[in-house]
Amino acid sequence: MSFDPVWLSRLQWSWVIAWHILLPAFTVGLASYIAVLEGFYFFTKNEIWFRMSGFWTRIFAVSFGMGVVSGIIMPFQFGTNWSRFTDATADVLSPLMAYEGLMAFFLESSFLGVLLFGRKLVPSWAHFFAALMVAFGTLLSSFWILATNSWMQTPQGYKVVDGRFLPTDWMAIVFNPSFPYRLAHNVTAFYITTGFVVLGVAAWLLRRGRAVEESRLMIRMALDLLIVLVPLQILLGDMHGINTLEYQPAKVAAIEGRYDTVRPTPLTIFGIPDDQKEEMRYAVDIPVLGSIILTHSWDGAIKGLKEWPREDRPPVALPFFAFRIMVGIGIIMLVVAIAGQIMMRRGGRLFRSDGFLRLCQWTSPLGFIAVIAGWIVTEVGRQPWTVYGLMRTADSVSPSLTGHDVAISLALYIIVYLVMYPTGVVFMAGLVRRGPAEAEEPTLEIESGRPGRPFERASMQAGD
């Protein structure tokens, strides 16, 4: 193990953000789903929507709470480990992050309390409104943090003065070239992730013959969402890729495992990349397909990594494999979505098919893996830069840090996360096991004190 502060700081960043991203990956979609369920309940007054909403709201509360505590860690990482990046970019990036805090946290924390506890305290339209606002808050949060991330990938609207980036055009900064694609691709990924979790949980309940009516409805809703979003996501992914090819060609070269420029470009399905020898070993190539996919033409070429100096290239292995995992999962998802539609159209066969329900269970965590894989593709593919083409990762780290400093803090972060996450997952699994049928909200005596934190609210409503 090398005690290099840059390398260890990257590892620490990856550790805290990878765990953190799993929670928004779930809560962004779930907040919108809950808003939809609340909407159905408000307009139809059918109790089934109420039970479903209550069930998912309890699970939402736990994951949201964990998202908040792991999120507090993030902004401070910029100061502790990446202070030179902070000094250089804060004039441009910090307001975007501050707006996330002001807009999203405000909306979410204000209305989450009403959503979780206010059923009996506020009129039903206000409760529905609260659900909408929480969902809107999670989307605003995605908006600002992805604007920040996108600017690091495709910086715009700045001037450089004494090595610092200063803002010249806020519209250009926020709506930088990769932002619309990244936002659409990410939010769709979050929705799909939630869709597969809902599908898997409902299948689990149904196979045990519990909450049958609710579970069937959840499966139908999830499958109808997925048959739209999964193909859309593949299209969005393609558009995002074309955008990346335009602005970050070296990243695409790494994704494709392409060291040499070849015309027409084949598509490498698999291989073992070797950055030292600049070659793809055991490559399985399909001729011309690379040109078709990436340039939408028969003989277009993408630049191979050899066209960049070595110090400007991203490592190939991680983006290359992560991209294949992401795409592979996308294909599995598409198969599940189409199969589900076909079986659903043929009467109730879907709900009696133990095989398909098992499949739904197994595929339910796939969204999380795809999100992490996609994140590795885009972030490792951005290397060796923090601000693409302008500021190197090696020049971004806090100069005072030694490798041992970071090793110690990383060990501490690892220990705490390994306690927190399994505990939270066990707790959420308990909520799933209780199921929606037992979701009756107990009347809560509130003499004083606002209802508690998400975890408690969940436990109270679950009747602890």
Partner 1 sequence: MVIDLVPIWTVLIALAVFYYVVFDGFDLGVGILYGFARNDDDRSLIMASIAPIWDGNETWLIFGGLGLLAAFPLAFAIIIPAVYFPIAIMLLALVFRGVAFEFRFKRPALRRFWDRAFAAGSAIATFAQGVVLGSFIQGFEVEGRVFAGTSFDWLTPFVLLTGVALMFGYALLGAGWLTLKTEGALQRWARRCGRVCLIGVCAAIVGVSIWTPLEHTEIAQRWFSWPHIAILAPVPIVTAAIAFVEWYSLGRDHELVPFLAAIGLFLMSFLGLAISLWPMIVPYRYTLWEAASSPSTQAFLLIGTLFLLPIILMYTAWSYWVFRGKVRAGTGYH
Interacting residues toward partner 1 by CB under 8 A: 65, 68-73, 75-76, 78-81, 83-84, 86-87, 90-92, 94-95, 97-99, 101-103, 105-106, 109-110, 113, 166-168, 170, 398-402, 405, 408-409, 412-413, 416, 419-420, 423-424, 427, 444-453, 455-456, 459-460, 464
CB of 455 to partner 1, least distance (A): 3
Cα gap 184→196, rounded to integer Å? 18
CB of 157 to partner 1, least distance (A): 11
Residue of 267, 240, 243 whose CA lies nearest to 183: 240
Cα gap 349→346, rounded to integer Å? 6
CB of 131 to partner 1, least distance (A): 17
Chain centroid to Cα 297, Å, comes to 31
Instruction: Let me know how many helices (H) and strands (E) the chain has, helices first.
Output: 16, 6
CB of 419 to partner 1, least distance (A): 7
Tokens of 435: 């199921």
Nearer to partner 1, 286 or 419 (CB): 419
Cα gap 261→319, rounded to integer Å? 18
CB of 380 to partner 1, least distance (A): 24
CB of 26 to partner 1, least distance (A): 18
Nearer to partner 1, 61 or 344 (CB): 61
Nearer to partner 1, 118 or 231 (CB): 118
**Residue-wise DSSP of 58-71:** HHHHHHHHHHHHHH
Cα gap 145→395, rounded to integer Å? 23
Nearer to partner 1, 276 or 448 (CB): 448
Length of the chain equals 464
CB of 416 to partner 1, least distance (A): 5
Nearer to partner 1, 100 or 214 (CB): 100
Nearer to partner 1, 92 or 225 (CB): 92
Cα gap 460→205, rounded to integer Å? 22
* 340 in Cβ contact with 350 (< 8 Å): yes
SS3 at position 442: coil
Beta strands (DSSP E) in 197-345 are: 267-274, 279-286
Pairing of strands 267-274, 164-167: unpaired
CB of 201 to partner 1, least distance (A): 20
Nearer to partner 1, 44 or 168 (CB): 168
SS3 at position 348: coil
Tokens of 113: 């309390």
Residue of 13, 35, 18 whose CA lies nearest to 139: 35
CB of 457 to partner 1, least distance (A): 10
Nearer to partner 1, 105 or 308 (CB): 105
CB of 252 to partner 1, least distance (A): 33
CB of 81 to partner 1, least distance (A): 8
Nearer to partner 1, 297 or 402 (CB): 402
Nearer to partner 1, 110 or 353 (CB): 110
Cα gap 131→350, rounded to integer Å? 31
> What are 274's strand-pairing partners?
279
Chain centroid to Cα 409, Å, comes to 25
Residue of 162, 316, 309 whose CA lies nearest to 251: 316
Nearer to partner 1, 99 or 368 (CB): 99
Q: Residue 385, Cβ neighbours under 10 Å: how many?
A: 22
3-state helix, strand, coil in the chain (%, to 5): 70, 5, 20
Residue of 146, 381, 372, 385 whose CA lies nearest to 245: 381
Nearer to partner 1, 102 or 228 (CB): 102
CB of 103 to partner 1, least distance (A): 7
Tell me the CA distances in angstroms from 78 to 1, 13, 90, 415, one per residue in order: 24, 9, 10, 21
